[in-house]
């Protein structure tokens, strides 16, 4: 863990200043649907495309529907060109504090992982709080994973080579899915990629005390997201909410945990790495310098995003695509 974060790049500082001036903190928001719509418009704008990046030209991206009991989720499927047969599959869960975000938010990273590995990356949506509090997101992502496995032939994917991936709140949901896959007898995962994951709902770790007011995510934001997500379940110690609180980490899929040095959530990743290592789970860990929370969705303003995607490609290729 880096004691003193590396200086941010000028474009990262400029983005952070603009974000602070123009955005409404989640703890002050009253209309979350309006904030989501505003965020979607920004992502689709010319300036937003520069910040959030574009999908890789080496993949075909299509939208599908995932019908579940009583609801239908949509998902983006990133399928690489030039490869045949049933491909390995990575199921990717977007971030946004369980309150914001969409599959489009992580499309840059997801599509480049698909292009770089030859795997299909499927990014399902899930219901968002506060309209749909915990455990709605847990249920949706777990059932979406099951649906993908059950419909492997239709999707032309090889679910014997299956991984989960997620960033921030999505990293939480990916970690939960990886634990459930062991506890509930499948599906078998080859790997889990946890990008600055939120794995503990309540504890204030040293990184949050040290960096309470970093760009994109502050300590106040973190607490507000947790309250909005958990709703009436606030106070639960269930590992479905806080995967760091699991009784056992034995047998979990090999993990790649990525963190950012300007992120109050940093120590969530550090503590989860330590928990997995104590259980004998293979873990690759990297903290990216001069990086802010959410940087893998911000390739236009955080230079480390490209390096992090390359690292994920290497990990997924070795653990999933080339796995025997």
187 prior amide bond cis, ω within 30: yes
What's the confidence (pLDDT) of residue 123? Answer: 98
3-state secondary structure of 84: coil
135 prior amide bond cis, ω within 30: yes
CB 153 within 8 A of CB 124: no
| Model pLDDT for residues 7-54, shown as the tens digit of each residue | 999 999 999 999 999 889 999 999 999 999 999 999 999 999 999 999
| Residue range 76-92: mean pLDDT, rounded | 96
pLDDT band at 1 (very low <50, low <70, confident <90, very high): very low
d(CA 173, CA 196): 12
What's the confidence (pLDDT) of residue 323? Answer: 82
Residue 324, number of CB atoms within 10 A of its CB: 3
Extract the tokens encoding 45. Answer: 């704008």
Give the chain's mean pLDDT.
Answer: 97
Quote the crossing angle between the two packed helices 107-117 and 304-316, to the nearest 10°: 40
Quote the crossing angle between the two packed helices 169-183 and 136-150, to the nearest 10°: 60
As a whole number of Å, the CA-based R_g of the chain is 18
Whether the pLDDT of residue 259 is over 60: the answer is yes
**Topology of domain 10-321, per CATH?**
Rossmann fold (3.40.50)
Nearest alpha-carbon partner for 225 in 42, 27, 20, 3:
27
| Residue range 315-322: mean pLDDT, rounded | 97
d(CA 4, CA 7): 9
Show me where the domains of the chain are located. Answer: 10-321
Whose tokens are 């045949």? That residue is 84
d(CA 312, CA 144): 22
Q: Who contacts 141 (Cβ-Cβ below 8 Å, separation ≥6)?
A: 93, 124, 126, 173, 174, 176, 177
| Model pLDDT for residues 290-310, shown as the tens digit of each residue | 999 999 999 999 999 999 999
pLDDT band at 84 (very low <50, low <70, confident <90, very high): confident
d(CA 258, CA 170): 13
| Model pLDDT for residues 95-108, shown as the tens digit of each residue | 999 999 999 999 99
What's the confidence (pLDDT) of residue 177? Answer: 98
What's the confidence (pLDDT) of residue 318? Answer: 98
Q: Who contacts 121 (Cβ-Cβ below 8 Å, separation ≥6)?
A: 77, 78, 89, 90, 91, 92, 110, 111, 113, 114, 165
Whose tokens are 């007898």? That residue is 185
Q: Report the percent of the chain where pLDDT is more than 90.
A: 96
CB 95 within 8 A of CB 168: yes
What's the confidence (pLDDT) of residue 3? Answer: 66
| Model pLDDT for residues 276-289, shown as the tens digit of each residue | 999 999 999 999 99
Active site residues: 168, 263, 293
Residue 213 has what DSSP assignment? Answer: B
Whether the pLDDT of residue 212 is over 60: the answer is yes
Distances in whole angstroms, Cα of residue 86 to Cα of each of 65, 154, 155, 160: 20, 10, 8, 10
pLDDT band at 321 (very low <50, low <70, confident <90, very high): very high
| Residue range 207-236: mean pLDDT, rounded | 98
């Amino acid at each position: 863990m880096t004691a003193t974060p590396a200086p941010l790049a000028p474009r990262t500082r400029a983005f952070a200043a603009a974000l602070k001036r123009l955005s409404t903190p989640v703890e002050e928001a009253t209309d979350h649907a309006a904030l989501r719509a505003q965020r979607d418009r920004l992502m689709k704008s010319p300036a937003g495309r520069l910040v959030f990046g574009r999908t890789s030209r080496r993949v075909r991206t299509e939208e599908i529907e995932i019908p579940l009991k009583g609801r239908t989720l949509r998902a983006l499927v990133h399928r690489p060109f030039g490869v045949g047969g049933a491909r390995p599959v990575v199921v990717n869960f977007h971030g946004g504090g369980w309150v914001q975000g969409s599959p489009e938010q992580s499309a840059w990273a997801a599509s480049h992982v698909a292009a770089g590995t030859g795997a299909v990356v499927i990014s399902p949506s899930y219901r968002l709080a506060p309209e749909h509090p915990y455990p709605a997101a847990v249920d949706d992502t777990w059932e979406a994973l099951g649906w993908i496995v059950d419909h492997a032939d239709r999707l032309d994917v090889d679910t014997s080579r299956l991984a989960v991936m997620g960033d921030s709140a999505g990293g939480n949901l990916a970690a939960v899915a990886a634990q459930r896959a062991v506890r509930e007898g499948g599906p078998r995962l080859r790997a889990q990629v946890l990008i600055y994951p939120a794995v503990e709902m309540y504890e204030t770790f040293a990184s949050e005390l040290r960096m309470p007011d970093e760009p994109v995510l502050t300590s106040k934001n973190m607490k507000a997201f947790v309250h909005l997500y958990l709703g009436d379940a606030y106070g639960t110690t269930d590992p479905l909410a806080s995967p760091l609180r699991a009784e056992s980490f034995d047998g979990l899929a090999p993990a790649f945990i990525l963190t950012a040095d300007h992120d109050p959530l940093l120590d969530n990743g550090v503590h989860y790495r330590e928990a997995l290592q104590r259980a004998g789970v293979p873990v690759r860990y990297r903290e990216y310098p001069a990086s802010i929370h959410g940087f893998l969705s911000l390739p236009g303003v955080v230079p480390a995003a490209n390096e992090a995607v390359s690292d994920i490609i290497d990990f997924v290729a070795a653990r999933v695509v080339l796995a025997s």
